[in-house]
Amino acid sequence: MARKWSISASDSREPPHAPRRKTDSVLNLLGRRIVTGEYAPGDQLPTEAELGKRLKVSRPSLREGLKVLSVKGLVESRTRRGTHVRQRRDWDLLDPDVLRWMATGKPDPELLISLLEVRAIIEPAAARMAAQRAAPAQIAAIEQAYHAMAASLPHDVEACCRHDLELHEAIIDATGNILLRRLAQAIRTTLLAFFRLSANARESYENSLKEHWAVAAAIRRHAPAEAERAMRLLLAGTARDTAPAFAAPVGHKRRRTRASQPEKSDPQAKQTREERNDPEKAAT
């Protein structure tokens, strides 16, 4: 009967913290239940009085959590109709909490693909901008992350993952673009969760270390084009190593098949190949 609303048990980022505020524990618990499908879209969840009794919180505290869930697009409340779970398309997929909750459940192929595509778009451009603008301190941060990666490689893959993420975020930080910075921050946890699921992370890292360094070196030398190309290579490799882990659950809810417009039928295809070597292709 003892309901576990201790979120900290499953939260890896801040283990020692008990849920200080009850409204936050409500938020996390309900958010996770909705995102994992325990409450399905369209479902009406219990009345506030009932929910409060079950979760053992007062109605004001419950309502604060519910209100936050509603601004994150997960639920919608109306008088007399109750509060209903909204459709997935309405969820705020750039909200760190939502992404974190989604990362705890079974990986969603559509989200994974979208995430890899966004990276393939953002990061080469970010590397390019970083090479143009990075200040010495920012370059130092990038290289420090790289060295931390290399140092922790053979034994501590988990730490390597973290420093990998640090490196990518340091690059985005060096662009000086506040929106990109926030975007990187949003996808951080999801990316980390997906990396963890990648089975052969260690060999993958051993292969890609020099690719990481190529990016860092190009940024240090202020060579935008080279940084962009190096990042494309790096991402292509990462996608190649990550994709197999999710090959099984694919074919789920994707609206259209990805190959419905084969590029070979496109007269511009050759020209396309000349311009770039399509990391997003490898992501599918």
Partner DNA sequence: TATGACAATTTGTCAGACAAAATAAGAAAC
Partner DNA sequence: GTTTCTTATTTTGTCTGACAAATTGTCATA
Which one of 48-56, 114-122, 164-172, 236-244 is the stretch in contact with a second copy (CB under 8 A)?
114-122
Helix axis angle, 59-71 to 22-35, nearest 10° = 50
Task: Give 124 or 212: the residue with its C-beta nearer to a second copy.
Answer: 124
What tokens does 42 get? 């369209």
DSSP state at residue 44: B
Which one of 79-87, 110-118, 200-208, 253-261 is the stretch in contact with DNA (CB under 7 A)?
79-87
Task: Give 19 or 107: the residue with its C-beta nearer to DNA.
Answer: 19
- Residue 199 sits in the site that holds a second copy (CB under 8 A): no
User: What H or E segment, with its residue span, contains residue 222?
Assistant: none
Strand spans (E) along 12-156? 75-78, 82-85
Rounded Cα gap, residues 159 and 97, in angstroms: 22
The contact pattern for a second copy, residues 251-270, with x = CB under 8 A and - = no contact, is ---xxx-x-xx-x-xxxxx-
**Is residue 160 a contact partner of residue 149, using CB atoms and an 8 Å limit?**
yes
**Is residue 72 a contact partner of residue 95, using CB atoms and an 8 Å limit?**
yes
Q: Which of 30, 75, 172, 186 binds a second copy (CB under 8 A)?
A: 186
82: β partners:
78
Q: Which of 57, 115, 126, 215 binds DNA (CB under 7 A)?
A: 57
Rounded Cα gap, residues 109 and 131, in angstroms: 33
| Nearest approach, Cβ of residue 159 and a second copy (Å) | 27
- Residues near a second copy (CB under 8 A) are 5, 7-9, 23, 60, 63-64, 67-68, 70-73, 89-90, 92-94, 97, 110-111, 113-115, 117-118, 121-122, 125-126, 129, 131-135, 175-180, 182-183, 186-187, 222-226, 254-256, 258, 260-261, 263, 265-269, 271-272, 275-276, 280
